[in-house]
Amino acid sequence: MNLTLPALGPALPEIVILVGALALLFLGAWRGEAARPVVDFGAILLLVLAGAIVVLLPGGTLSTFGGSFLLDPFARFLKILALAGAAAALLMSFDFLRAEKLERYEFGILVLTATAGMLVMISSNDLITLYLGVELMSLSLYVMAAIQRDSVRSTEAGLKYFVLGALSSGMLLYGASLVYGFTGTVGFPGIAAAAKAGSLGLVFGLVFLFAGLAFKVSAVPFHMWTPDVYEGAPTPVTAFFAAAPKVAGIAIFVRVAIDAFPNIVPQWQQIVIFLAIASMVLGAFAAIGQRNIKRLMAYSSIGHVGYTLVGLAAGTPAGVAGVLVYMAIYVAMTLGTFACILAMRRNGEAIEEIDELAGLARTQPMVAFLLGALLFSLAGIPPLAGFFAKFYVFLAAIEARLYALAVIGVVASVVGAYYYLRIVKLMYMDEPKAAFEPMARPLGFVLGITGLFVLLFFVYPAPLVAAAQAAAQSLF
Amino acid sequence: MYQAIVFLPLLGCLIAGLFGRFVGARGAEIVTSALLLVSAALSWFAFVDVGFLGHEARVKLFTWIASGGLKVDWALRIDGLTAVMLVVVTTVSALVHVYSIGYMREDPHRPRFFSYLSLFTFAMLMLVSSDNLVQLFFGWEGVGLMSYLLIGFWYQKPEANAAAIKAFVVNRVGDFGFALGIFAVFALVGSVGFETIFAEAKSLTGKTIHILGGDFDALTVICLLLFLGAMGKSAQFLLHTWLPDAMEGPTPVSALIHAATMVTAGVFMVARLSPLFELAPTALAFVTFIGATTAFFAATVGLVQNDIKRIVAYSTCSQLGYMFVAMGVGAYSVGMFHLFTHAFFKALLFLGAGSVITALHHEQDIRRMGGLRPVLPITYAMMVIGTLSLTGFPLTAGFFSKDAIIEAAYAGHNAFAAYAFWLTLIAAGLTAFYSWRLVFVAFHGRSRADHHVLEHAHESPPVMTVPLGVLALGAIVAGFAAKGIFAGEGMEQFFRESIFSKDGHRIIEEMHHGPFWVTWAPTLMMVVGFAVAYWFYIHDPAIPRELARRNDILYRFLLNKWYFDEIYDFLLVRPVKWLGYTLWKRGDGWLIDGFGPDGVAARVLDVTKNVIRLQTGYLYHYAFVMLVGVAALVSWFLVRGGG
């Protein structure tokens, strides 16, 4: 057996994060809680370093591990996005966790391992690597959801997520084995070459594979865990859940669909259209009835995944570019909104009721203004960034002749606008409640950046759109 | 110069309206009044220049609309007819502006008031100087709008708002006809410019127009439609109901708009379009009929009214009827003559009434006045002069113009000329009665006013009495001075082309040769009216009450203005309100809102409730949903045969 070391360069970001995470874990095990500040700082530094490596690695498409690992412009775009989302979520978590007495050095390390899993997912080019990344990410997330061990809600959330996640992993694996059985290979290029026509067996595999992936991005009807976990997990964990893992999930969804099954587009298109419509509609309707803002954000994320899948359903380079732009804007909007949610504290207690935001415009006008901008953007009102995100995916759908899908999407976003605007109304028109505690500095930083991004995106959208188009083009 | 006359009021309006905050109330008053006085002075200059020196002019400002065959200019057409109107409008307006400084001195919204007054004047000048029907219509709607705004100036008063809306809505009826008339002219002539229309008018005789499945004489139809507009604007019989209610506005507004200027726009329009009306004898007969009916009807109602302003308002309505009678029998210049003199004495009466009203702290009911002569000596003198002139006391302005109309009606040739003669003659007696009744009840006898009010009553300041004096002068001399150019030999010299008569103004000649009794009958009626009023209200005040009791039905018929408001309310207002209410409640509220916005929103909430119920919190439910999802997708592909 000829053991030669494969080229490790393309996987350098993942290696750096994992090695760094192990080092920090040793440090934590050795020094106990005293190591926590170093671990926290080190974790953020590692994420930034990984992002720098992604940027600095040679351009073009790099491949290693016998073609099962791919670093192409598509992967670069999403990796930077996932790293940024993870870093921002981690940054926002410190103050909250300290206030809730949840500070543990493991938190930063779990973020690192989860992020490493996401990066592997984004770069995977065969089903084995895909599963490896998915499980690395998911196992980290299960633990994170239950990190507040003495809270019933948090442990319940972790347990539900774990059980349902195991079920979805089973479906994923079952689908993968069916695909392997009908094509004889696990590599995406090989599957693409073998799957010329959609045999029923292959389509079965496709359905199970997509069901597993849909669970990860919480697309309806595989979304049931989302509201409970979002509500039950500590808020910084929820913020993390809502941003980076979604990016990785959507990434692998797109890559599997476009790279592995380019020849049976009509088959997977039907599945994606179903998931998109169900997600958009349920996200819009169910959110209206929520009183807890974290549950509301859960349904909001379900809806947004639906809109993103509209771009994928188009199956065109423009559609995929729309997906990428949507993800970038979605991550910014979500992180900004969670910065505000994390800042909802009064007398040392976290507040999660939407009604408590009443009159925020008078107690904290700047926060209210930026949150208002983010909510308008989430609702997709021009000229804010969220409008352009929806615009690109709907445009792609219309160009692909998916008129009904685009119309349903627009109608759903009108319904969805209601619950976002209701919060704006609460903030600006209702009698103020007692003021929240002043916002922690990292939260203000994230809120400021994302708020300005959302407000000013329309001024100069070209860099993001151009990068997304280039990244999308590399898949075709 | 003509641009200055027309646009100075607009300038005043803009200054007072947009910069009222900076120039202050006092500034707004001074600026608008000064500009109007300049405009009035220029108008008199133009009057002499155009009328006596013959310098007619057409000043094109710029092209307004050029669309296909329709070409409309902004142009000022200055001829004898316009010159008369310019003088009337700017003079009365300037005096009303000055008077308002005193009358409105306690109102907090003076800049707005003066801005409106000036804008009204601008619109009225635009109307009288227009060179085409569209510009005329612009001015027409402009004065209508300003009338609406000024009647409702005290928008806190519900009656004022109701009156403003009524004036606007009733005028819409007339204006609709007017607009149709303009369309018909354009359809037949292909132009809206007066020059072209008048040149083409002759060729239209005998042509027919096809409407509502029948062919009718084109000119008759056009003239009747246009006259419908005049009926609305000039408050003629059937469309008169808004004018008495319009008295809810400030009194200077009543003097300017509802006595001297806007309500005469209809008369002016008929005179301006005399080349068309002359060729439509049927329409002219109709004009005569409506005018005579109005003159009589309004005078009868005026007999029993108790509100000082409403009496004057019905009088105005009646006098406008006189003017239309003159128009109807072809004596256009005589109608204009009455318009001219009427502007003076009616504005005088209104402003005098305003003086009384301010002195008595907004008391308008003459039954609660009485004995005011010693308290308000100047106002009393002015009211008497106005009354003398209105009732046609020899050698006053009204004497010349009103008698000329009655004589013209006698000499007229159309089917309703005799009808008009008798009705206007009777109305002259009624006019004398109700006018003197007003003076006697309000100024003579014992005081019936609250003595608190009376203690504070005082004569108005000079800023109000001086305009009264100027108008009184006009009310006395305007008739004698101007009878030559309106109803005598100077007429053709003065008006030249601006008034057309197909038989060379024969009527002007003929009316001077009526029998002796016709010449003096109006004066006799005036004396009779005066005598009866004196007998009823000075000599034996018990008689009118006894008379009203014995003829209760007639009295109430008159008091309720022939029940026109009630009839319209029953026939039109209530059905329309019902329809509107039904469309609102059933159509909009139930149908559109119910199945539209509200219904959809309610369904959204229903869906939301059901969706939320799915989220039970049980793990096995969640797993079950996932499996159902997979099963559904698999079944879908099974049924579709692998896609």
Give A89-131 pLDDT, tens digit per residue: 999 999 999 888 888 889 999 999 999 999 999 999 999 999 9
Q: Do A167 and B626 touch (CB under 8 A)?
A: yes
CB contact under 8 A, B642 and A215: no
Helix H or strand E segment including A265 = helix A265-288
Provide the sign of the torsion angle of the four alpha carbons A86, A92, A98, A102, taken in this order. negative
The Cα–Cα gap between B606 and B612 comes to: 10
> For residue A201, what is the nearest residue in chain B, using CA coordinates?
B642
3-state class of B517 per DSSP? helix
Chain-chain contact of B604 with A415 (C-beta, under 8 angstroms):
yes
CA distance B584 to chain A (A): 27
Cβ contacts below 8 Å, chain A against chain B, sum to 82
Rounded Cα–Cα distance for residues B148 and B158 (Å): 14
Dihedral of CA atoms A464, A465, A470, A471 in degrees, nearest 10, equals: 70
Q: Do A288 and B608 touch (CB under 8 A)?
A: yes
Least CA distance to A175: which residue of chain B?
B630
* Integer Cα distance of B258 and B171 in angstroms: 13
Asked if A167 reaches chain B (Cβ–Cβ under 8 Å), the answer is: yes
Given CB atoms, is A211 within the 8 Å cutoff of chain B?
Answer: yes
Work out the minimum CA distance from A446 to partner chain B, whole angstroms: 32
Give me B436's structure tokens.
């003197």
Nearest to A286 among B608, B626, B633 (CB): B608
Residue numbers in A near B611 (CB within 8 A)? 282, 285-286, 289
Q: Which residues of A touch B625 (CB under 8 A)?
A: 221, 224
pLDDT at A2: 62
B638: nearest CA in chain A?
A200
Average pLDDT over residues A124-140: 95
Instruction: Confirm or reject contact between A285 and chain B (CB < 8 A).
Output: yes
What is the Cα–Cα distance from B432 to B391, expressed in whole angstroms? 5
Q: Which residues of A touch B637 (CB under 8 A)?
A: 200, 203-204, 207, 267, 270
Residue of A nearest to B622 (CA): A224
Contacts of B597 in chain A (CB under 8 A): none
Q: Cα–Cα distance between A39 and A45 in angstroms, integer? A: 10
- The beta-strand segments (E) located in A170-281 are none
Nearest CA to CA, how far is B593 from chain A (Å)? Answer: 17
Q: Which amino acid is at A74?
A: F
Single-letter residue type at B464: M
The pLDDT value recorded for residue B373 is 87
Supply the DSSP string of A74-141, one letter for each residue: HHHHHHHHHHHHHHHHHHHHHHHHHHTT---HHHHHHHHHHHHHHHHHHHB-BHHHHHHHHHHHHHHH
Residue from B603, B612, B620 to probe the interface with A (highest A Cβ count within 10 Å): B612
> Which of A164, A264, A267 has the CB atom closest to B623's CB atom?
A164
pLDDT at A272 over 90: yes
Q: Give how far Cα A382 sits from Cα of A378, A386, A391, A409, B412, Å.
A: 11, 8, 10, 16, 73
Q: Within an 8 Å CB–CB cutoff, is residue B639 touching chain A? A: no
Say how far apart CA B122 and CA B114 lie, in whole Å: 12
DSSP-derived secondary structure for B374-405? TTSHHHHHHHHHHHHHHHT-TTSHHHHHHHHH
**B630–A286 C-beta distance less than 8 A:** no
Residue at A11: amino acid letter = A
Which chain A residues have a beta carbon less than 8 Å from that of B607? 285
Asked if pLDDT for residue A67 goes beyond 80, the answer is yes
A171 vs B contacts (CB less than 8 Å): 626, 630
Contact with chain B for residue A292, Cβ under 8 A: no
A429/chain B closest Cα distance in angstroms: 21
Residue type, position A451, single letter: G
pTM above 0.80, yes or no: no
- Average pLDDT, whole number, for chain A? 92
Report how far residue B556's alpha carbon sits from residue A136's, in angstroms, rounded to the nearest whole number.
99
Q: Do A171 and B630 touch (CB under 8 A)?
A: yes
Residues of B with Cβ-Cβ distance to A267 under 8 angstroms: 637, 642-643
Q: What's the angle, vertex CA A91, arms to CA A87 and CA A96, rounded to 5?
A: 140
Asked whether the beta carbons of residue B643 and residue A160 sit closer than 8 angstroms, the reply is no
* Nearest chain B alpha carbon to A291: B612
Task: For B61-77, give the secondary structure using H, E and C.
Answer: EEEEEEECCEEEEEEEE
Look at B637 and A286 and tell me if their CB atoms are within 8 Å.
no
Distances (CA, A) of B406 to B246, B287, B323, B600, B639: 29, 15, 10, 69, 98
CB contact under 8 A, A163 and B619: yes
Q: Chain B: nearest CA to A247, how far in angstroms?
A: 22
Nearest to A221 among B605, B626, B636 (CB): B626
Q: Which two tokens stand for residue B554?
A: 């007639």
- Alpha-carbon distance A41 to A415, whole Å? 42
Residues 577-606 of B with CB under 8 A from A: 604-605
d(CA A139, CA A109) in angstroms, rounded, equals 13
* Polymer length in residues for chain B: 643
Cβ–Cβ gap B615/A227 under 8 Å: yes
Q: Answer yes or no: do B626 and A222 touch at CB < 8 A.
A: yes
Amino acid B148 reads Y
User: Mutation test of the interface with chain A: which of B609, B630, B635, B638, choosing the one with the most A Cβ atoms within 10 A?
Assistant: B630
> Which ranges in B444-573 belong to alpha helices (H)?
451-456, 462-487, 490-495, 506-511, 516-534, 542-550, 552-559, 564-568
Task: With residue B208 as reference, give the H or E element that holds it.
Answer: strand B208-211
- Probe site for chain A from B610, B618, B637, B639 (most A CB atoms < 10 A): B637
Q: Pick from B604, B636, B637: which is nearest to A285 by CB?
A: B604
Query: For residue A51, is pLDDT > 90?
Result: yes
Measure B587 CA to nearest chain A CA, in Å.
25
ipTM, 2 dp: 0.90
> Which of B34, B5, B92, B111 is CA-nearest to residue B467?
B92
- Which residues, in sequence order, are bridge partners of residue A350? A345
> How close A163 comes to chain B (CA, Å)?
8
**Averaged pLDDT, groups of 10, chain B, 643 residues long:** 90 90 88 94 91 85 84 89 93 94 89 93 93 92 93 92 92 92 91 90 85 85 93 91 90 91 93 92 93 94 91 94 93 92 94 90 86 88 94 91 92 90 94 93 84 79 91 91 85 84 82 86 92 90 86 87 88 90 88 83 85 86 92 88 56
**Tokens read off for B202:** 């002759």
Residue A282 forms contact with B (CB below 8 Å): yes
Chain B residues inside the 8 Å CB shell of A167: 623, 626
- In chain A, % of residues over pLDDT 70: 99
Query: Which chain B residue shows the shortest CA-CA distance from A264?
Result: B643
Residue A240 forms contact with B (CB below 8 Å): no
CA atoms of B140 and B133, how far apart (whole Å): 10
Interface test with B, best of A178, A224, A268, A422 (most B CBs within 10 A): A224
Minimal-distance CA residue of chain B relative to A412: B604
